[in-house]
Structure 1
Amino acid sequence: MKTKLLPKLLLPLLALACGVAPASLAASDGDTPLRHVVSLDGAWQIAEGGMEQPPAAAFSRTVPVPGLVDMARPAFDNPGPPVADRRQFPQKDPKRDAFWYRRAFTLDGPVPPAATLKIGKAMFGARVFLNGRQLGDHAPSFTPALLDARAALKPGENEIVVRVGADRDAVRPAVPDGFDFEKSRYIPGIFDSVQLILSGAPRIANVQVAPDIAGGRAKIRVYASAPGAPVSLEIREWKSRRVVATAAGQLDASGESDFVLPIENTRLWSPADPFLYEATVRTAGDEFTARFGMREFYFDKKTGRPFLNGKPHYLRGSNITLYRFFEDPARGDLPWDKDWVRALHRRARDMHWEALRYCIGFPPEFWYDIADEEGILIQDEFPIWYLRKDWPAALQTPQLVREYSEWMRERWNHPCVVIWDASNETASSQTGPAIEQVRSLDLSDRPWDNSWSPTFRPGDVFESHPYHFGNRPPRVNFRLAGLANADSAPWKKDWDKSVCGQGVIINEYAWLWLNRDGAPTTLTEKLYQNLLGPGSTTAQRFRLYARWLAADTEFWRSRRTAAGVLHFTMLGYDRPDGQTSDHWLDIASLKWEPEFYKHVRDAFAPIGVALDAWEETYPPGLTRDFPCVIINDTDAPHSGTLAIRLRRDGKVLAEETRAVVVKSFETGRETFELTLPKTNGPCEVEAVLLGTPSGDIRSVRDFIVHPLIPAAVPPLK
């Protein structure tokens, strides 16, 4: 028998007095569903105060949920204030200890047998009250709080109050707090959705779907404690709603019941075809729907080569550092604007990026829905970054196990998530044991990245950050010419024992950042003085950045020593005292800096070319070899035409073309001879793959014809 539950959500009178429109629930189609997921997103009231008691003063401000407290109106005085020292771990807001959120809603009808309040993510920690009764504390800031609300819920008017810490000190040092050596502000808030989940019994706590593409079937694990209770299952195509599989059975006594459903004419999920299914599991009083894709991803346990759905699949992509963007003055409500977030991911695909690392922090959950739909592979990185010596002694494995478990349960059905990443640039004795305790939770057995700590199994992956152009030894005054003799696998010097059978992802490299206005960052100011001399122009810096970043990308892709090359970074912050930045001219409209788009986009083309020529000066009048590497990341051989052109002042001085063939997932090499001008001056050599599926794809090198040795040549402008 279906239990009919018809909750109705209303905003408090005070919020109405502030001009906030009441929320409404859409009517369901057909029979009343067994489960109602009631969104509590929207305008909440907010006040500041202490940690223990709600503020005595009236809640005179409103704030959007999800969002951050700096979005409150009227605004608070300096919430999430800038830290005095970015490298110091304690961080206290001197004006308040906590922020208190409040809103009301109305439940029409009786209290259902099961009611769970879900707070997607709340910095920093959450203490939750319903109708004056404390439901519980949830210290983690980056995983969902799931709290039993039934005993406190009542028919009619209900009030929910959530306290969040005003700063990282509210949870640190025994709980991950999102510390980041680059961040200057840590702005708190409920930054993911809040839901009230209502159902009958037996209640389904969770569902996990594990694809078996070879068998054309899906394994479904149902998490519910109701031994012997009947259960029905069905799988539909997500868009068409066509039913493709059904089954029925009983729940067992373990609380974890497994079912296998064959799917006829299985359609696989991939970046080229992000096809999605839905699995719905029903008991007599509850139903749980999980969207998933028929997708398998792994690293070969002998070679470390990446495979997607049984075929090699090298990763090309970038990074999103959303928690850094949270402090960007231009941020506004963009991270919660679904149209903007979808456009952001589509800009990634337009750059030929099929992979993203959500770097040092998880975005709101709907970002993963969009990545599923747009066909993007996600390396999902837990917000921990402590380098080699700064790990807080109070943060121990049991806390990591708790938070890693919550993270995995929230995200395990997303086909976009292909790598669990335990931390960024961190050496710790705590993360590895935590990984081993939670690894078995994932029926899809995704690979793990344990940063600078050893991984424990073949088939895992580690991230390498081979920055060529940094100002610190041994890279002082490193120039493009240095790539001629650069190590194509520098990580092996320190990781020989660890890398056996594990993949390597380069997800940071280059070290050439500019702010959005073209000014160097604090990490690159001396670099650009060395490369371009004093008084360089914005146009000169943007041009060098784009061409050298493209060249460095081509270097790593053409060497085929890494399973993936991910540029850093697609989305960050823009501030005068910042260390890194992104490439947007206009963040709201997602307008790229043109030189970056022109050169770096080609460097990531699935069928690409890399001029394996790096010198910045050549003697005049000589004939020189210009090798070209053709890169094929696709599952079909490529036959086409490769051209090479020598230019000066826009005029073509020499040109040659030849037919080329490159096997699928392989590289090929062609070498051209060009005779250089007899007169001194700047030149450009360009290799072009003509008429690829992505259009004409170029690789460009600038150089100077000059009789002097390279060290005596003026900086290239």
Structure 2
Amino acid sequence: TICLDGTWQVAEGQLDVMPKAFDHTAPVPGLLDMATPEFDTPGIVPTPAQRGKPWERQNYADPLREAFWYRRTFKINAPESNVAMLKVNKAFFGTCVFLNGHKVGTNPFNFTPGWFDLKPYIKTDGSENELVIRVGASLAQIPLSVTDGWDPEKARYVPGIYDSVTLIVTSTPHVVNVQTVPDLDNKSVRAVIELANTGTTEIAPQVRAVVREAKSGRVVGETVVEAKSFRPVTIAETTNLRPGGKGRVDTTIKIADPHWWSPEDPFLYELIVDTGADTYKTRFAMRSFKTDPASGRVLLNGKPYYLRGSNVCVFRYSEDPLRGDTMWDREWVRKLHRQFKDMHWNSLRYCIGFPPEMWYEIADEEGILIQDEFPIWYSWWPHGTMHGWPDQITADSLANEFTQWMRDRWNHPCVVIWDAQNETNNDTILAEVIGRVRGLDLSNRPWDNGWGTTQSPSDISEYHPYRCSPQFPRPFSLSIFEQESGVPDTGPKQGGHPPRIINEYGWLWLKRDGTPTSLSRPIYESLFGPDAKPEVLRNYYARTLAAQTEFWRSRRKCAGVMHFCGLGHFRPNGITCDNFTDLASLTFDPYFYKYVRDSFAPVGVVVDLWKEQVEPATLLPVPVIVVNDLDTPFSGGVSLRMEQDGKTVWRQTKQASVKPFGTGTTQFQVQFPNEPAKCELIAEIRGHNNDAVRSYRVIDVRVSGEAHGGLLSNGGLESGLTGTDKARMIIFEPLDEESGSAVGPGGKMDHWTTWGPGVLFYSEFGLTIETRAVKFWHSDSGMFQQFDVTAGKDYAFSVEVLNSTVRKEKETLKVWKGYLRAEFYDDSLNRISSTDLDAYD
């Protein structure tokens, strides 16, 4: 195998005309925004309106070029070889290969390898070969029958050969593919070896298979398969491999003193297959992964195992302005995965996009379980005959892509779940394709069908319970978890069942500079107003996300809890983001590291109190839960203390024991202060490796309805009338419903700031501005005004609610319900209280 990675010559141009000059260079693997000298804006940027119309991708063409052409030369001195295969691991957007002026072939797929037979045109006598690879410049070059990685939260689609290019030169019979199937019970590995004969004579294949430890090289198993065990695929009634024929060898190798692979101990083996003419190597591990629907758990190597982790959105990260070459820097990628492990994450979802092959190798080596999600995200839009699914993507086409995906990935021990898609409801195509390809994986990994119908009792159901999303009351309060059972919603539209995995939750994203994203801004505005400092937001985000993590883990209704997201993109109008403050050094936000890391500890602790306010002098039972993900029991002290102004005013410690994979609750009686105060309850244990693990809850001790600061907000409001001397003006620039243009100063609602989906989603979903009225078409919308107050002074508010205007033909009036709420904050914009003053109906 010869690696052809490195610096290639590159040119831009048309699809059907090879350039005469290649006057740029670019790295392979990499993307074309890394070229030298730079190309003029490679990669299309769909408009916000286009992001909602993936079926029109043929119109999203790069206006400057149709294609990019890569070129390099190489020499091979192997005159006796009769196999020369080129593998282009992954490339955007489609691949066409030329060798020495001859067109070799095409691969329309963007996420699976392209294999090209160079033998008819290659020079193997040591003279120079010219290799040219063409990729499409934009989504418009992708056939409509092929998946495109469409993501409505992406802003830019940059082309390029983003994974390695290798040349396999050998003799025949040669190995085409090997699937390893570990058998822990019998301490062996099954090897299904696909062979081909490109020679001119019939061959009686004899195959030697050797297993050795990947690090030490120690041989631990070996077998020789005679010709009589050979099973032809294309030719019947013979044990020989005829010219042009293909066949299969199915053998089992016993392994001496096998060592199981796990995230805690990622022990790897190597299988070497020798045909006498060709040698093939692949890594594997002695690892099993199954589900237990009855218990709702997954089983790793036969034992219950809870998934704790995050998501990597590598295609979104590809548009990050600070990305550089980090995606292809092995040390950076390894450090990234080690940082994830340091967060107590044992699993990741490679989400809406496959990273380069190197990432899977590193996950194998570092010990991280991967939910491998195929880059499909459709069904948001009522288009076509299949509810948003592009009609041209048929079951036949998609099954071909899925087959190539599985064949390329099935020996990686890190890959434990085949994930067919993200948040897509369509079952017409996906259900059929999963059924077609499931049997190809002889290890029988479970499948995840996103929000489609779960296809087998042994499959995973995934959920995205975003409790801070617009479907829930603003401002957000942890008290909503008092009504939660621990069984998540927002998942498969039908057929969902255990095991359940939560692989998205939160909705509290902050950009790396500590400012809200476009989705999370209304949350923080409703909590802290428009001018909160990043430090305040980061502290709130980390504490709140940690508390939500603790809740979902402690209820034990889910086999896994995975935060969103570990790696994303950072852009001014971005929707989500990761939690790094420095990308080069991979430094986490310190609040995130402090609070969220403990919430994912393998032996964790949870203050099981979800109230955020209690009356003075309250005596309250406070449960503290110990969550044990390990296969060994926990026994030790559980302490709970109360702090005011950073000083401990009360502490108690009790002993607790928790069974393996279980939870245990210790009850405390907590006496809260007689006077209004802000208290923090902190539970602590000594967990795995005797590390201190803590859980935190901030409690506002005050008389209900008592005022301490100043913010007024309301939800579902249709008309407002007020004014104060120190009110802050509107943050968002609403759009006029008819013209689509920003409303000028004369049209602003005096002193009010709007929030909610009407503002969030580009405003054209129904927001109307008149002289002194704002109409919202969504139930979770409203506006607030903020001003300074003085303790001890009375304040009066006048709000008029109107429900009388019909602006559209055939529109009828609907009942409007809402409320008026006063919230009060200290000088650091920490919320002190929240009181509903009045309601309207």
| Fold shared by both chains (TM-score > 0.5) | yes
Task: Describe the superposition over 1:114-146 as per-residue Cα deviations: whole angstroms up to 9, x where unpaired.
Answer: 110000000000011111111111000010001
Is 2:136 the partner of 1:165? yes
Q: How does 1:149-228 map onto structure 2 within 5 Å? A: 149-154=118-123, 155=125, 156-225=127-196, 228=204
Q: How does 1:570-581 map onto structure 2 within 5 Å? A: 570-581=566-577
Task: Describe the superposition over 1:342-366 as per-residue Cα deviations: whole angstroms up to 9, x where unpaired.
Answer: 0000001100000000000110001
| Map of 1:442 onto structure 2 | 441
Q: Following the alignment from structure 1 to structure 2, what is the Cα–Cα distance between the partners of residues 95 and 559?
A: 55
Please state whether the residue corresponding to 2:281 is helix, strand or coil: strand
| Map of 1:233 onto structure 2 | 209
| Map of 2:648 onto structure 1 | 652
Is 2:224 the partner of 1:248? yes
Q: Following the alignment from structure 1 to structure 2, what is the Cα–Cα distance between the partners of residues 139 and 561?
A: 42
| Map of 1:30 onto structure 2 | none
Is 2:388 the partner of 1:405? no
Please state whether the residue corresponding to 1:568 is helix, strand or coil: coil
Amino acid across the alignment from 1:714: F
The alpha carbon displacement at 1:164 in A equals 0.3
Q: Following the alignment from structure 2 to structure 1, what is the Cα–Cα distance between the partners of residues 450 and 492?
A: 13
Task: Describe the superposition over 1:55-91 as per-residue Cα deviations: whole angstroms up to 9, x where unpaired.
Answer: 23x1011000000000000000000132223323222
| Map of 2:559 onto structure 1 | 563
Task: Describe the superposition over 1:521-546 as per-residue Cα deviations: whole angstroms up to 9, x where unpaired.
Answer: 00011100112233211111000000
Task: Describe the superposition over 1:402-445 as per-residue Cα deviations: whole angstroms up to 9, x where unpaired.
Answer: 11111111110000000000111111211111111111111111
Is 2:588 the partner of 1:592? yes
Cα pair 2:462 2:492 within 8 Å, conserved: no
Amino acid across the alignment from 2:88: I
Amino acid across the alignment from 2:636: G
| Map of 1:363 onto structure 2 | 355
The alpha carbon displacement at 1:482 in A equals 1.0
Q: Following the alignment from structure 2 to structure 1, what is the Cα–Cα distance between the partners of residues 545 and 293?
A: 31
Amino acid across the alignment from 1:116: M
Task: Describe the superposition over 1:225-269 as per-residue Cα deviations: whole angstroms up to 9, x where unpaired.
Answer: 457311111100000100011101133213222101111211000
Q: How does 1:658-669 map onto structure 2 within 5 Å? A: 658-669=654-665
Q: Which moved more, 1:634-643 or 1:701-710?
A: 701-710
Q: Following the alignment from structure 2 to structure 1, what is the Cα–Cα distance between the partners of residues 687 and 488?
A: 35
| Map of 2:68 onto structure 1 | 99
| Map of 1:489 onto structure 2 | 487
Select 1:112's aligned residue among 77, 81, 88.
81
Q: Which moved more, 1:632-641 or 1:167-176?
A: 167-176
The alpha carbon displacement at 1:576 in A equals 1.1
Amino acid across the alignment from 1:200: S
Q: Which moved more, 1:106-115 or 1:305-314?
A: 106-115
| Map of 1:76 onto structure 2 | 39
Please state whether the residue corresponding to 1:273 is helix, strand or coil: coil
Q: Which moved more, 1:621-630 or 1:353-362?
A: 621-630
Task: Describe the superposition over 1:302-339 as per-residue Cα deviations: whole angstroms up to 9, x where unpaired.
Answer: 33311000000010000000000000000000000000
Select 1:391's aligned residue among 389, 392, 395.
389
The alpha carbon displacement at 1:474 in A equals 4.1
Is 2:326 the partner of 1:339? no
The alpha carbon displacement at 1:491 in A equals 3.0
The alpha carbon displacement at 1:174 in A equals 1.4
Cα pair 1:635 1:664 within 8 Å, conserved: yes
Q: Following the alignment from structure 2 to structure 1, what is the Cα–Cα distance between the partners of residues 390 and 519?
A: 26
Q: Following the alignment from structure 1 to structure 2, what is the Cα–Cα distance between the partners of residues 491 and 526?
A: 23
Amino acid across the alignment from 2:207: V
Cα pair 1:321 1:360 within 8 Å, conserved: yes
Cα 1:600–1:222 shift into 2, 3 Å: same
Please state whether the residue corresponding to 1:481 is helix, strand or coil: helix
Cα pair 2:463 2:504 within 8 Å, conserved: yes
Is 2:249 the partner of 1:257? yes
The alpha carbon displacement at 1:391 in A equals 1.5
Task: Describe the superposition over 1:669-697 as per-residue Cα deviations: whole angstroms up to 9, x where unpaired.
Answer: 11111111112121111101135425110
Select 2:19's aligned residue among 22, 30, 55.
55
Please state whether the residue corresponding to 2:97 is helix, strand or coil: strand
Q: Percent identity?
A: 46
How many pairs does the alignment contain? Answer: 677
The alpha carbon displacement at 1:203 in A equals 1.1
Cα pair 1:111 1:150 within 8 Å, conserved: no
Select 2:476's aligned residue among 472, 475, 478.
478
Task: Describe the superposition over 1:429-469 as per-residue Cα deviations: whole angstroms up to 9, x where unpaired.
Answer: 11111111111111111001111111221111121000001
The alpha carbon displacement at 1:296 in A equals 0.3
| Map of 2:675 onto structure 1 | 679
Larger Rg: 2
The alpha carbon displacement at 1:489 in A equals 1.1
Please state whether the residue corresponding to 2:824 is helix, strand or coil: coil
Cα 1:527–1:627 shift into 2, 3 Å: same
Select 2:536's aligned residue among 536, 540, 543.
540
| Map of 1:46 onto structure 2 | 10
The alpha carbon displacement at 1:108 in A equals 2.1
Cα 1:594–1:474 shift into 2, 3 Å: closer
Q: Following the alignment from structure 1 to structure 2, what is the Cα–Cα distance between the partners of residues 523 and 644?
A: 36
Please state whether the residue corresponding to 1:553 is helix, strand or coil: helix
Q: Following the alignment from structure 2 to structure 1, what is the Cα–Cα distance between the partners of residues 822 and 185?
A: 61
Q: How does 1:272-351 map onto structure 2 within 5 Å? A: 272-351=264-343
Q: Following the alignment from structure 2 to structure 1, what is the Cα–Cα distance between the partners of residues 340 and 176?
A: 35
Amino acid across the alignment from 2:224: A
Q: Following the alignment from structure 1 to structure 2, what is the Cα–Cα distance between the partners of residues 639 and 579?
A: 43
Cα pair 2:100 2:130 within 8 Å, conserved: yes
Cα pair 2:349 2:372 within 8 Å, conserved: yes
| Map of 2:93 onto structure 1 | 124
Normalised by the length of structure 2, the TM-score is: 0.79
Cα 1:490–1:275 shift into 2, 3 Å: closer
| Map of 1:15 onto structure 2 | none
